Structure 1
Amino acid sequence: MTARPSPGDLLVVDGRASVQFGGDRALTFRVVSVSDQPTYAGWIWLTGYVLDRRGEATDKREIYVQLAGLRPAPPPDTPSRRAPRSRPASSYVRRPDQGSAASGDRAGLRAGADAG
């Protein structure tokens, strides 16, 4: 990636971008801002968030990297959203102060409200 990153870009930052991110120190980085501060040719200051495998931000950092060494990152592993489990009708337990909705008896609710 030789183009200047933009806020929102998701990047792989590894040893190609800077020796400090080599090996197991590589990270996935979501860019928040790109500095206009003058630097050496081909280098840039980025501010953003280090992401874990699920795409959750774990740390905010400012990094100094070589543009030529930055690569777009694949989208993070996102857990599939499961539909909420519905509770079986039989699992509902009526409290004594609730009365019977079927019979229209709300005396228990009124008594509880009057007592409070």
Structure 2
Amino acid sequence: MTAERPIKGGDLLHLTRAASVQFVRPIVVRVIRHLADRHTYHGWTWIEGYELDARGEAVAKRELYVLREGLRWLTPGPPAPVARRPARSPRGAQEAQTAQAARRAGGAQGVGGAQGARGAQRPQGAREAARGGAREAAREGARGVRLPG
């Protein structure tokens, strides 16, 4: 057995003779509430709502006794469940792993690395190492001797 769609406030219903013989002229109703506390025959229910005109404006407040099978919803039902996607695409995960490996090695990243459009940036340790290398080169040039290191 399929679950019945609940009648909720705000639903727009198109009521025709399929819902009740009283609707010789079909009407559109915006539901205020479903009157579930009233005892009815099997398959029938009470709703309270506003009858709407062609422009969608309320013209009368009504309590209606309708056959559930004859109700036609004009409002969409609950959204279908959306399939979950991974947080990162396989390509993005691969770039992140490459960036992590580069950080562990202490090397500079290329333009195509995880930094992408921001350009190549060296990790903090690499900048300090580059400054230290420049100092060593200056000392080496001054003395003409390469220091062990």
Q: TM-score, normalised by structure 2?
A: 0.46
SS of aligned partner of 1:20: coil
Counterparts of 1:23-102 in structure 2, within 5 Å, are: 25-35=25-35, 36-73=37-74
Q: Of the candidates 6, 12, 19, which is equivalent to residue 17 of structure 1?
A: 19
Higher strand share: 1
Q: Which runs of 5+ in 1 are unaligned?
A: 76-116
Aligned to 1:6: 8
The answer to whether the Cα contact below 8 Å between 2:33 and 2:49 also exists between their aligned partners in 1 is: yes
Identity rate, percent: 49
Between 1 and 2, higher relative CO (CA 8 Å, sep ≥ 6) is seen in 1
Code of the residue aligned with 1:33 in structure 2: it is: R
Structure 2 distance, partners of 1:53, 1:68, is 24
- Deviation for aligned residue 1:4: 2.9
Residues 36-90 of structure 1 deviation map (CA, whole Å, 9 limit, x = unaligned): 2111110000000000111100000000000000001269xxxxxxxxxxxxxxx
Segments of 5+ residues of structure 2 without an aligned counterpart are: 77-149
Contact 2:11 2:75 (C-alpha < 8 Å) held by counterparts: no
RMSD value over aligned CA atoms? 1.6
- How many residues align? The count is 72
How far apart in 2 are the matches of 1:64 and 1:19? 10
Are residues 3 and 74 of structure 1, via their aligned partners in 2, closer, same or farther at CA, if it must alter by over 3 Å?
closer
Larger radius of gyration: 2
In 1: Cα distance, 2:62 partner to 2:30 partner: 10
Where do 4+ consecutive residues of structure 1 move more than 3 Å? Answer: none
Structure 1 distance, partners of 2:48, 2:59, is: 14
